[in-house]
A and B are shown apart, each in its own frame.
Chain A
Amino acid sequence: MFPDITKLRKDFPILDQSVNGKPLIYLDNAATSQRPLQVIDRMNEFSLKINGNIHRATHFLANKTTEAFECARGTLRTFLNASESSEVIFTHGTTESINLVAHSFGEAFINAGDEVVVSEMEHHANIVPWQIICNRKGATLKVLRFTDQGVLDLAELDQLLTHKTKILAVTQVSNTLGTVNPIQKIITKAHEKNIPVLIDGAQGAAHFRIDVQELDCDFYALSGHKMYGPTGIGVLYGKRKWLDRMPPFLSGGEMIDRVTFGNTTFNEIPYKFEAGTPHYTGAIGLAAAIEYLNNQDISILEKYEHELLAEATMRLKQIDGLTIYGEAPEKSGVISFNIEGIHPFDLGTLLDQLGIAVRTGRLCADPVMDHYGVENMVRASFAFYNTFKEIETFYKALIRLKTMF
C-alpha cells in the first residue's frame, strides 16, 4: 500500500515549480530536504507574533518564546525517547554536535596513547573533529573499513576496540553509500568493552524511528534541515552521565551559573552547552517538522522510499557503463554512481538543464572516493515526496544525456 503522494506533495509547494523550463525533480534530499508548509507557517507565525529572547526576561514575549523553545525540546525528547529533556542539547546541526562531543568529551576523557575509532564511510564531519582532538591529545584515530559492497566489517571491529579505545563514532546511514549500519549490534559490541558510542544520525533521523534508550547509544547527533526542518538547527542527545562530566564547548551567556573575574561556575545541562542566544526559531521549526512526521505513518513512508530506491536501482542498472557505489542489503534512499566516460560535473550540469537536481562531487567523503579510486560521484537521493514518474524521467534523462558523449 502506497501513501497518497499527490496529497503529500501539496504540503511542499517548492516542488511545484519549473527549472530551466522543466518541472523540477528534486533528488538531492540527502544534502537538504524540503520543508512542508506546516514548518514554514509555524516559523512565520512565531516571528510575526512571539519573538523574544529566552530565559532572560520577565516580559510576555520572552516568556512565550521560552515556553515554545522548551516545548520544542520536549518534542525532541519524545522523538528520541531520551529519558529526560536535559539530555537534549540544541546545536547548529550535526557538525556542531559532533564537534561538541569531540572537544568536550575529548578534553575530559581522551589522553595520550588513547584511541578513537571511526568508520571509513563517515562524512568529514565525523572524521575531522576526532582527528583534531587526537592530534591535540596525542591519541590515535583508528578506522573501521567497509567492503566494496558498502558494508562495515564487524569482525574487524572486535580487533579495533581495545582497552585503549575511548570512544567509537559511527554513522547510522552513510551519506554516500546509503548503507544502513547495524548500530544496535555495534553499540552492544562497544559496550561489552565499556566503550561509549556516538551515532551520526544526520542521514538516519528522517527515515527511522529513533529510541536512544533502546539503542543505548551514548550520543546521537542530528540536523533539522535533513529531516524536513529548517537549516541552522540540530540536536545533540547525550547521556547525562557523560554530559555532566564534560567541560563546556562554547562559552558566554546562558551557559554560566555565576561569573566573577576570578572564576566562573557553569550552569546545569543542557544550558551548559547552549552558550549565547540559541536559534530558537529553528528549534520551533524543527519541532514542527517532527510533529509533521508524527502525523504520517512513518512505516508506510519508509516502505515507499524503499520501493523508490529499488525501482531507481533497477533502472540505473540497465544503463551500460553505469557503476553504483554501495549495494548493502540494508540500504536507504541514496544512490551514488558514475557513468563510464562522463565526468560527474558534466552530468550534473546537463541534468540541471533538464530540471533534475542531483549532487555531484566528493560528497564530503574523501575516504569513500579513495576506497573506490574515483575523484567524484553523482548522487541521487530520495524523499517520500518523490515519485515513480520522476524516477522514470531521471532514467530517461540519463539515457538521453549519455548519447551526447
Chain B
Amino acid sequence: MTIDDIQQQIIEDFSGIEDWMDKYSLLIELGNELEPLDPKYKVDSNLIRGCQSRVWLHQEFAEGKIVFEAESDALIVKGLVALLLKIYSDRTPSEILGSEPRFIDEIGLRQHLSPTRSNGLLAMVKQMKLYALAYEKLSSKNN
C-alpha cells in the first residue's frame, strides 16, 4: 500500500466515529497498543521536546528504507505517533518527502498538529522529513 492508501484507511476508520470521546478512546487504544520503544533509544539525542509532552524518535536506514520507532509519555500523543509511524515508517526517503500527514486534518484532530500546540508532534513530522532528506542526499552522493 502506498502512503496515501494508508492515510485513506485511517480516515475511513475514524470517519464513522461521531462522538469525540470515542475518537479519543480509539487514539488512547492505539497509544496503548504501540510497542514501547526500547529504553536504550529513549535518550536525549532522540528526544523531541514539546513543552508538555515528550516524544522520542529512533530511526534506522536499511535497504533504501527508513524504519522509525517512537513513543510519547502522553497517551493521546502516543496514539497519534502510532498513526504517523503506520504512515511513514518503512518507507523510502522520497516517499516520506513527497507526502503530508493530511489525515490529521481530515479526522478532525488538526489542533494537535498546529505550531501553537506544544506536544512535539509537528516537530516529530519535521524530524522524520529531515532524516528522509539526509538519507536521500546520502544515497545520491553514494550513487
A362 contact set on B, CB distance < 8 A: 51
Are the C-beta atoms of A350 and B24 separated by less than 8 Å? yes
Are the C-beta atoms of B25 and A345 separated by less than 8 Å? no
A345 contact set on B, CB distance < 8 A: 52-53, 74, 76-77, 119
The range of chain A's interface size is 10 to 19
Are the C-beta atoms of A343 and B24 separated by less than 8 Å? no
Are the C-beta atoms of A405 and B28 separated by less than 8 Å? yes
Q: Judge if A247 is at the interface, Cβ distance under 8 Å.
A: no
Q: Judge if A156 is at the interface, Cβ distance under 8 Å.
A: no
Known: A349-B76, A375-B73, A405-B75. A344 touches B52 (CB 8 A): yes
Are the C-beta atoms of A343 and B75 separated by less than 8 Å? yes
Are the C-beta atoms of B24 and A404 separated by less than 8 Å? yes
B25 contact set on A, CB distance < 8 A: 404
Q: Judge if B21 is at the interface, Cβ distance under 8 Å.
A: yes
Are the C-beta atoms of B53 and A343 separated by less than 8 Å? yes
Bound complex: CA of A351 vs CA of B84, how far in Å?
Answer: 24
Are the C-beta atoms of A361 and B20 separated by less than 8 Å? no
Q: Judge if A346 is at the interface, Cβ distance under 8 Å.
A: yes
Q: Judge if A75 is at the interface, Cβ distance under 8 Å.
A: no
Contact residues of B between 11 and 58, Cβ < 8 Å to A:
20-21, 24-25, 28, 51-54
B77 contact set on A, CB distance < 8 A: 343, 345-346
Bound complex: CA of A346 vs CA of B54, how far in Å?
Answer: 12
Contact residues of A between 348 and 405, Cβ < 8 Å to B:
348-350, 353, 360-362, 375-376, 404-405
Are the C-beta atoms of A353 and B24 separated by less than 8 Å? yes
B54 contact set on A, CB distance < 8 A: 375
Are the C-beta atoms of B74 and A343 separated by less than 8 Å? yes
Bound complex: CA of A361 vs CA of B25, how far in Å?
Answer: 22
Bound complex: CA of A345 vs CA of B50, how far in Å?
Answer: 11
Bound complex: CA of A343 vs CA of B51, how far in Å?
Answer: 13
Are the C-beta atoms of B51 and A361 separated by less than 8 Å? yes
Residue of B nearest to A400 (CB): B21
B76 contact set on A, CB distance < 8 A: 343, 345-346, 349-350
A-B contact pairs, 8 of them (CB 8 A): A343-B76, A349-B76, A353-B21, A361-B52, A362-B51, A404-B21, A404-B24, A405-B75
- Mark A residues whose CB is within 8 Å of B: 20, 342-346, 348-350, 353, 360-362, 375-376, 404-405
